[in-house]
Amino acid sequence: MTILRASIPGRVLSGRLASTSAPCRPVHAQERRRTLAPRSQRGPRCPRAESEQKGHLAGDENEYEPELPSQINLPDGWEEPAEEKTAVQKFLYPDEDELTSDFAMPIWDHLEELRERVLVGALAAGIAVLTCFAFSKDLVVFLEAPVASQGVRFLQLSPGEFFFTTLKVAGYAGLLLATPTVLYEIVAYVVPGLTKSEKDLLAPIVFGSSILFYIGLLFSYEVLTPAALNFFVTYADGAVESLWSIDQYFEFVLVLMLSTGLSFQVPIIQILLGNTGIVSSEQMLKQWRFVVVGATVAAAVLTPSTDPFTQTLLAVPLIGLYLGGAAVVRVFEQRKLAQGA
């Protein structure tokens, strides 16, 4: 035996005892109104129950639709919670408490400082190029070393070809020597506008980028360039004599070295994307299949040769650098979680 209760807005009416085996049917609003006593014989009603009853009668007989208040009186001092910024918005519009200085400059002072720093960087690059041009012949002999023992001879096929080749070699070498000065001027210009967290990340980024670039140059000179050139020399052995144009040779070597140094910046790009919250380490690792295909395509585009051996030598380090960059991003994420905890 159980007790059945009929629910009425504003009150609860007890029903009579019924058997557990008796089926229960829904009680409609018309039946409830017929069972109620006249209004004059009932006590005062709660305003809330009255408004709920009006909302119920206005709709369907089997649905309960209470009237909602048109205006909610909020307590004094209540403020609507601010919308949380996205990672890109936090990077572009940081909070004032994250800035390390309240110093402000007019736009013309910024342009004047930019002009001075560009002038210093250009002057350092010009001096480095002139210095390298003075030792251009020694640089040419140094860059010929990867195939010097293979019996390859270099020819000047047109008047002035060697002169313009030395200019090209001096220009590339001078820019490499002036890179630290140029980087310093860039960093000194942007540092005042960075937040505390960005300043803490700036030094490792700049230092790591420089180290990876020079490691890429060394890898190209010691491994990639000799392997590619030895492949061409061995393939032509016994069929043709290796007489190469000096200009085309240096174009091949310099482009290969520069593209290898730039491709070694993949971990730096990953760290920047991970620090701003655009991409997480988990998302990077999930896309490893596309990374393998992308590294192969990038190696085919960056290497001036068309042989698959040279492309494979560059694609494998790129894949390794990508996975290493994802691991470094994971370490940064775990450090942030530890600091937040």
Give the pLDDT score at 65.
52
Is there a domain that residue 8 lies in?
A: no
Q: What are phi and psi of 220, to 5 degrees?
A: -65, -40
The C-alpha atoms of residue 296 and residue 312 are separated, in whole angstroms, by: 7
Residue 180 lies in a domain: yes
What number is the average pLDDT over the span 36-52?
A: 52
Q: What is the pTM of this model?
A: 0.65
Q: Mind spelling out the 3-state secondary structure of the chain?
A: CEEEEEEECCEEEEEEEECCCCCCCCCCHHHHHHHCCCHHHCCCCCHHHHHHHHHHHHCCCCCCCCCCCCCCCCCCCCCCCCCCCCHHHHHHCCCHHHECCCCCCCHHHHHHHHHHHHHHHHHHHHHHHHHHHHCHHHHHHHHHHHHHCCCCEEECCCCCHHHHHHHHHHHHHHHHHHHHHHHHHHHHHHHHHCEHHHHHHHHHHHHHHHHHHHHHHHHHHHHHHHHHHHHHHHHHCCCCCCEEEHHHHHHHHHHHHHHHHHHCCHHHHHHHHHHCCCCCHHHHHHCHHHHHHHHHHHHHHHCCCCCHHHHHHHHHHHHHHHHHHHHHHHHHHHHHHHHHC
Using one digit for the tens of pLDDT, what is the confidence trace for 207-259?
A: 888 899 999 999 988 888 888 888 778 877 777 777 888 888 888 888 888 88
Instruction: Say if 312 falls within a structural domain.
Output: no
Give percent of the chain with pLDDT exceeding 70.
68
* pLDDT at position 187: 84
Averaged over 278-287, what is the pLDDT?
Answer: 87
User: Does the structure show a pLDDT above 50 at 300?
Assistant: yes
Strands 2-8 and 11-18: antiparallel
Structure confidence at residue 313 (pLDDT): 84
Q: Is residue 285 part of a domain?
A: no
Neighbours of 310 (CB within 10 A): 23
pLDDT of res. 122: 93
Other CB atoms within 10 Å distance of the CB of residue 299: 23
Residue 14 has pLDDT above 60, yes or no: no
Within a domain: residue 242? yes
* Integer angstrom CA distances of residue 193 from 91, 98, 209: 11, 11, 21
Q: What is the pLDDT of residue 125?
A: 93
Q: How far apart are CA 203 and CA 201, in angstroms?
A: 6
Q: Is the pLDDT of residue 58 over 80?
A: no
User: pLDDT value at position 129?
Assistant: 93
- Backbone angles phi and psi of 5, in degrees to 5: -125, 130
Distance between CA atoms of 201 and 21, rounded to whole angstroms?
Answer: 74
Written as six digits, the tokens of 107 are 């736009």
pLDDT tens, position by position, 81-125: 656 666 556 655 666 666 666 667 788 888 898 899 999 999 999
- pLDDT confidence band for 310 (50 / 70 / 90): confident
Residue 217 lies in a domain: no
CB 325 within 8 A of CB 284: yes
Domain count, the chain: 1
Average pLDDT over residues 279-287: 87
Q: Does residue 289 form part of some domain?
A: no
Query: 172 is in which domain, residue-wise?
Result: 104-195+206-211+225-246
Sorted by sequence, the CB contacts under 8 Å of residue 295 that are 6+ apart come out as 315, 318, 319, 322
Q: Which of 305, 294, 329, 142 is nearest to 217 (CA)?
A: 142
What token pair was written down for 179? 């890179």
Q: How many CB atoms lie within 10 A of CB 189?
A: 15
Let me know if residue 168 belongs to a domain: yes
For a pLDDT cut of 90, what percent of the chain falls above it? Answer: 12
